[in-house]
A and B are shown apart, each in its own frame.
Chain A
Amino acid sequence: MSVRWQRRTHGVSVRQEKIDPMTVRLFALSIAIISVLMALYLALTASSVRLSVRLWSLHNEMAEIQRENGRLGTEIARLSSIPVLIERSVRLGYGQPESIEYLIVGGP
């Protein structure tokens, strides 16, 4: 009786192949490395996005401060403009140069 006949008539149990432990370790290691790399990439991307948002908000904050600076600058200019200075001076009792009359007092 040939082996072939024996298989057909009696069946053959499934061969229990042995998995090489080294292969498993290598596979697990590669999965771990890929996972770490992916996690690192995600962390880097997230950090980059956070940084971008922060940088962008700083740019906008700077623009906001420039606007506030501009507003204050124009307000200072308005308050120290010649018409306002004249108005305040008159209110404080100062006279216009052409309205001043000098009194010459003779010496003793």
Chain B
Amino acid sequence: MLRGPDARLRLVTGLLSLAVLIILAQLVRLQVVDRELYLPKIEQLQQRPYTLPMPPSGVILDRNGDLLVGNLPIYDVGAEVNLVGNVTTTLRVAHRLSATLGMSPEALFDLLNYEPIPGDENRTVWRPLARGLGPDVVEDIKSLQREGWWWLTLQPKWERYYAEGDLACYTLGFVNMEGHGYGIEAFQQRLLRPVVTDARGPVTIGHVPMAEELALGKLRVYPGTDLVLTLDRTIQAFVEGELRRALLEYGAASGTILVMDPRTGALLASASLPCYEPYAYANYSQTDRTRFTDPAVSQTYEPGSVLKVITVAAALDSGSITPDWSYYDSGRIEYGGILITNSDRQAHGWQNLQGLLDSSLNVGAATLAAHHMGATEFYSYIRAFGFGQAMGVGVANEERGIVHLPEDYRWTDSYLVTNSFGQGIAMTPLQLAASVSALANHGVIMAPYLVAERRYPDGNVVSTVPHRWSKEPPISPETADFVAELMVNTVDRRYTRAVVPGYRVGGKTGTSQIPIAGGYSPSEVITSFVAFAPWPDPEVLVLVKLDRPQNERHLRWGTQTAAPVFSQMAGRLFTLLGIPPTDFIAESQR
């Protein structure tokens, strides 16, 4: 029994103090001792994940700034179906939405109709209604949301948009949902794709992250980097048109035309047909996956006689022969256990280097490789010209080609002679074009490239500086100029169907056999022509390759198919590139 106010006061004070102590002790326990236990629970209560809508990917432009691949905004529409209402309301909603979403009311009713499981009535159930809708549905859906159908959801997305349809399909390529793909889209996807990170932090009741959260910069949102290519869409479209016409004219199964600037290595056009629609890649994936690999950089072939210019250049540059070298062509040469003959099966008597290229003599090329250079010398030049190595052009799935070297266990002496005229060695059209560009560019191979400029979202612009493919040029300027002059003379003297009026053109044809199981196809060939112009200061190099032309059998030669294609397109191509006629230059310098 407490007596007196003082005692009661002391008791109350004591109890209050005890309560305060208990509270303090609890606070210490919660915030210090059991901190790790409660922290996640508190965070779960206070914090929510948040993110921003996906910014667009980088666009791909041609060298003049015209759009090749852009971004189209699309929308996915969904609904929290547990909130739609009873069957009557759902029917009304289905009828009202069918016009907006372009779906039948029955299909929409099936999607919207929801029967909750007893005892689970409060569960949120979201269902997608339509995907990939255009921007025109946005206003409709938003007005419906304002009218009270707030359970309708609108999810913005981006879709790649190919402004020129299937133009340069192989070069541009695509990336599928799993991140795999082809062409520049795949090779440069780390640059092109936007960066969006999710963040977690305190949010308001409306799930809006607090300002200080945003200020912390936990949420990283960057659009993709824009790429400016070296391709010119006008030239690309023109070249594709010419290739399409050539395929029809010669009945060829497929073909490739490359246009590059030998002085810089910039690819101005890379056309291969038949093409595919990169925006509809899913239509092909089940049946024809091989269709996506770029024939210009990802498919190899045996180049045939075009390689003779490389053999001649190597022989001259190595000092194995002199420019006035000549030999007696008996029409056959036996080496490494095989017999080599000329393509016309004829003997051509005494021939010099010009005669070797003019008549495209296999025996001459084999003689240079086998009797003058030897395997070590020959293959050191083959490597120096880039065969068997990636050119690093910057597209996905680039092939290295197939070169059998003396150190390979499968290599035999016969490879030396067959390789000298382009058989038994496989390369991509790009590798061949790049190697011949050394002859047009005074001995230097410039690294082929497609991306001229990268425009970062922060405003920084990084331009690609043209550079040499290898530190040391494969051949000297004197050798390159001499062989290039031989090629110009060959076009003037022998390839009348490759002549371009007003321009001095250097070139070499090739007709290569197609390897099949157990040998070569007896009837099908790949014809090609590689040329540069205007001599003596070439500004453009063109490679034309036609696969399996079906014209008259005796006309299935590079001179009869690929060379005329070049001649037909070159005049307008030079005009598009602003290259004045050589004759005009000579006239004005006089």
Contacts and interface: CB of A to CB of B under 8 A. Distances in A.
A44 to B, nearest CB: 11
Given A48-B212, A81-B164, A71 B73 contact: yes
Contacts of B55: 63, 66
Contacts of A67: 73, 135, 156
Contact of A70 (B72, B165, B211, B214): B72
Chain A at the B interface: SS class? helix
B210 A52 contact: yes
26 contacts: A48-B211, A52-B209, A52-B211, A53-B204, A53-B206, A55-B211, A56-B208, A63-B53, A63-B55, A66-B223, A68-B73, A70-B72, A70-B73, A71-B135, A73-B67, A74-B70, A74-B72, A74-B163, A77-B67, A77-B161, A77-B163, A80-B66, A82-B164, A82-B233, A82-B234, A83-B164
B208 A52 contact: yes
Leading 3 A-B pairs by shortest Cβ distance: A77-B163, A77-B67, A67-B73
A88 interface: no
Contacts of B52: 59-60, 63
Interface string A31-64: 0000000000000000011011101100110010
Given A70-B70, A71-B73, A74-B72, 5 more contacts: A56-B209, A63-B52, A66-B56, A77-B163, A80-B66
Given A53-B206, A82-B234, A71 B164 contact: no
Interface of B: 52-53, 55-56, 59, 66-67, 70-73, 135, 156, 158, 161, 163-165, 167, 204, 206, 208-214, 223, 233-234, 237, 572
Contacts of B237: 82
A34 to B, nearest CB: 17
Contacts of B66: 77, 80
A63 B156 CA distance: 9
A82 B214 CA distance: 44
A97 interface: yes
Nearest to A83: B165
A49 B71 contact: no
A63 B52 CA distance: 8
A1 B210 CA distance: 76
B142 to A, nearest CB: 11
Contact of B204 (A52, A66, A76, A78): A52
A52 B234 contact: no
A71 B72 contact: yes
Contacts of A97: 572
A103 B510 CA distance: 38
Contacts of A77: 66-67, 70, 161, 163
Nearest to A17: B5
A96 B149 CA distance: 54
Given A66-B55, A77-B161, A81-B164, A55 B73 contact: no
A83 B475 CA distance: 44
A82 B66 CA distance: 10
A60 B70 contact: no
Contacts of A76: 67
A41 B67 CA distance: 52
A94 to B, nearest CB: 15
Contacts of B56: 66, 70
Contacts of B72: 70-71, 74
B163 A78 contact: yes
